[in-house]
């Protein structure tokens, strides 16, 4: 019986730790409207800078709609940091849609 409880406690502990790690690893996908995105060079500029920004895991640019979809780890960076990263390369990024990704 002692063994049973030991296993039970271990299982619960393992689950809660895994859950806590999951919460930490949460990713968020945010769409930005970027008026300064005019041509392929602009996209290259964004890709060169924003894709390597700390915490950014994915980046998709759309020239037609002047939008960039940025996926980032919420424990590594946040919306403000990404917006200021765009500002650094002379672009104003306006978040348009926020979706939680898991």
- N-terminal to C-terminal alpha carbon distance within the chain: 38
Between residues 66 and 73, which has the closer beta carbon with respect to Cu ion?
Answer: 66
Task: Report residue 43 as tokens.
Answer: 């996209």
| Cβ atoms of 34 and 43 closer than 8 Å | no
Q: How far is the CB of 89 from Cu ion (least distance, A)?
A: 11
Which residue matches tokens 């964004």? 46
Of the candidate residues 28, 31, 32, 42, the single one contacting Cu ion (CB under 5 A): 42
Q: How far is the CB of 36 from Cu ion (least distance, A)?
A: 8
Q: Which segment (10-18, 32-40, 59-67, 84-92) binds Cu ion by CB under 5 A? A: 32-40
Task: Report residue 35 as tokens.
Answer: 């008026």
Q: Give the residues across from 43 on adjacent strands.
A: none
Q: Which segment (1-9, 27-35, 40-48, 58-66) binds Cu ion by CB under 5 A? A: 40-48
Question: By CB under 5 A, is residue 21 in contact with Cu ion?
Answer: no
Chain Cα centroid distance, residue 15: 25
Residues found near Cu ion in the complex (CB under 5 A): 38-39, 41-42
């Amino acid at each position: 019986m002692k063994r049973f409880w030991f296993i039970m406690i271990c299982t619960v502990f393992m689950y809660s730790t895994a859950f806590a790690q999951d919460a930490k690893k949460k990713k968020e996908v945010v769409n930005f409207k970027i008026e300064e995105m005019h041509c392929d060079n602009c996209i290259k500029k964004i890709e060169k800078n924003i894709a390597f920004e700390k915490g950014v895991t994915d980046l998709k640019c759309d020239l037609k709609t002047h939008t960039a979809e940025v996926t980032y780890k919420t424990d590594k960076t946040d919306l403000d940091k990404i917006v200021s990263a765009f500002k650094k390369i002379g672009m104003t990024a306006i978040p348009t849609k926020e979706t939680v990704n898991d």
